[in-house]
Amino acid sequence: MNRTLNAFETAFDRLAAGYFLVIALGVAAAIVGVVL
Q: Quote the pLDDT of residue 10.
A: 94
Distances in whole angstroms, Cα of residue 36 to Cα of each of 10, 27, 32: 39, 14, 6
Range of the domain at 22: 1-36
As a three-state string, the secondary structure of 16-30 is HHHHHHHHHHHHHHH
**What was the pLDDT predicted at 1?**
65
Provide the number of structural domains found in the chain.
1
Cα separation of 6 and 8, whole Å? 5
Q: What is the pLDDT of residue 3?
A: 86
Q: What is the pLDDT of residues 1-36, one digit of tens each?
A: 688 889 999 999 999 999 999 999 999 999 999 998
